[in-house]
Amino acid sequence: MLEVTQLTRNYGALKAIEDVSFKIGKGEIVGLLGHNGAGKTTIMKIISGYLEPNQGTVCVDDINLADHPKMVQMGLGYLPENLPIYSDMTVAEYLDYAADLKGLEGEQKLKEIKKAIIDTDIAQKLLSPIATLSRGFKQRVGVAQAILGQPKLLILDEPTNGLDPDQTQHMRELIREIAKNATVILSTHIMQEVDALCTRVLILRAGKLAVDEKLENLRGSDKIHLQTSMPEQEVSMLMDLDEIKSVRLLDKENYQQDKLIVYSYQITLNLTTNQRKICAHLASIIISEKYQLYTLHAIQRDLETLFKEVNEKSYMRGGLNNAA
């Protein structure tokens, strides 16, 4: 649905982004992540048609943005981090103005404004001047203008900024609903939002695309956590398996009341190992040797750890450096 090819944008001698390419399909919610200055805002501005690249193309439904900007922009919704709202207008006046900018007219215009009002729950503030609204309500007005006209491509920069927990949950549900018929790009510093909404992430580092991967793949690692009654001298037999790189004792707990000793191990696998198969094999070995199996699961990275690894340059082409 959205195809970005070799985007480069310079600000004088500074390369804001360099040779960035990716594709996003209909129904995807993709997180666009990176430190301040990594190039996120530049990419969003280029995709929205606000900024021209020095090199590269943006196509939406096979329509080139450079050749047909108005056609693409009519099917696009954009919420920049700095809210595009006018303080001297009432909420109703602003949404009417935003609908005019999107080319909405007549009954369709009224229908779309009403839908955006209901979806963002701002009906009680329609006649209020925007200057009098709280940060949370201003944010919801900004989202309302972005979703006017049911855009095919929705770009949201920090959409939950200023919202309370209930409003945040409502916003998540709204974004999921929109994504059923659209493509959504979500840029945020709040990793919980990415975890809650996105199935894939694009991570920028110094203007270049460092990561383009599904979240489920990125969370995986080469380590397994094992808790068992199998002692150290016996667990060494696991090293005979080709799939296992190392076994390290993490802890040994003695439950005297239950006459039970629980050993905790961290098992490091070879990178090509199928984790499900090796877990099943390990369970079979431990049980066949008449030991108790208490815990056996793959250790997953959280998104904050991944983000840190990427920005500390431990990301290597083809995967993350799994050392330690």
Provide mean pLDDT across the span 34-48: 93
| pLDDT confidence bin for 172, thresholds 50/70/90 | very high
Helix pair 135-147, 106-120: axis angle to 10 deg:
140
What one-letter code names the amino acid at 159? Answer: P
Domain with CATH 3.30.70.380 in the chain: 222-298
Fold of 2-218: Rossmann fold (3.40.50)
Per-residue pLDDT of 264-320, as tens digits, reads: 999 999 877 888 899 999 999 999 999 999 999 988 777 887 788 777 754 444 444
Asked if the model's pLDDT at residue 51 lies above 80, the reply is: yes
Query: The whole model's pTM is what?
Result: 0.78
For residue 97, give the H/E element and its range.
helix 91-101
CATH class of 222-298: alpha beta
Q: What pLDDT score does 220 carry?
A: 72
Instruction: Pick from 159-168, 241-250, 302-311 the range whose average pLDDT is largest.
Output: 241-250
Q: What pLDDT score does 322 carry?
A: 41
Asked if the model's pLDDT at residue 324 lies above 70, the reply is: no
Domain with CATH 3.40.50.300 in the chain: 2-218
Per-residue pLDDT of 109-148, as tens digits, reads: 999 999 999 999 999 999 999 999 998 899 999 999 999 9
Q: What pLDDT score does 313 carry?
A: 59
Q: What pLDDT score does 42 carry?
A: 96
Q: What pLDDT score does 198 carry?
A: 95
For residue 48, give the H/E element and its range.
helix 40-48
Say if residues 16 and 208 touch (Cβ distance below 8 Å): no
Asked if the model's pLDDT at residue 77 lies above 90, the reply is: yes
